[in-house]
């Protein structure tokens, strides 16, 4: 675990995992996310892709959208940027959203070969993204993440798509 991970980070990550467990109970992909600023929770959400029948209700998207509304889309408040906590390594769409929201640090609990995205990106390869690149801390809870995914049984037809040949 990183030296950049403290008691507040653990509290926010626990809340993200609580939201992931709620998603699992609904039959959604078990992912939860929290946006925090200055040690305070701004928003928290879970994945709702299956229950809302959309690809766009990722936990991180929902939490960032709510945080934007609450902060009036001023993620950089007095020069301070928020942090994103996700129970699972965010996908490419969610990491892009976080970058454009000027999130300063992304913490993630674990990785999954099918659903993760940060590790496939080289955020430093493009000068624009290098300038905006948040600090990445994780995985912080790999075993906990794997345990949640062990209980997940896809219910939405898109989760069961076969690889296109």
Nearest to 1 by CA among 146, 134, 143, 137: 137
Q: Which of 60, 76, 89, 146 is catalytic?
A: 60
Nearest to 97 by CA among 68, 126, 77: 68
For this structure, is 60 an active site residue?
yes
Active site residues: 60
């Amino acid at each position: 675990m990183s030296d950049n991970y403290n008691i507040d980070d653990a509290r926010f990550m626990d809340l993200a995992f609580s939201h992931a467990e709620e998603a699992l109970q609904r039959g959604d992909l078990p992912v939860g996310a929290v946006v925090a600023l200055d040690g305070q929770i701004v928003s928290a959400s879970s994945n709702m892709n299956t229950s809302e029948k959309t690809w766009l209700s990722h936990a991180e998207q929902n939490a960032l959208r709510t945080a934007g509304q609450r902060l009036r889309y001023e993620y950089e408040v007095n020069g301070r940027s928020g942090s994103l906590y996700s129970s699972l390594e965010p996908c490419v769409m969610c990491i892009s959203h976080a970058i454009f929201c000027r999130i300063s640090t992304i913490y993630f609990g674990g990785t999954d070969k099918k659903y993760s995205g940060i590790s496939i990106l080289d955020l430093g390869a493009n000068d624009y993204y290098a300038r905006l690149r948040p600090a990445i801390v994780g995985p912080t809870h790999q075993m906990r993440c794997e345990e949640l995914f062990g209980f997940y049984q896809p219910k939405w037809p898109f989760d069961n798509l076969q690889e296109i040949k």
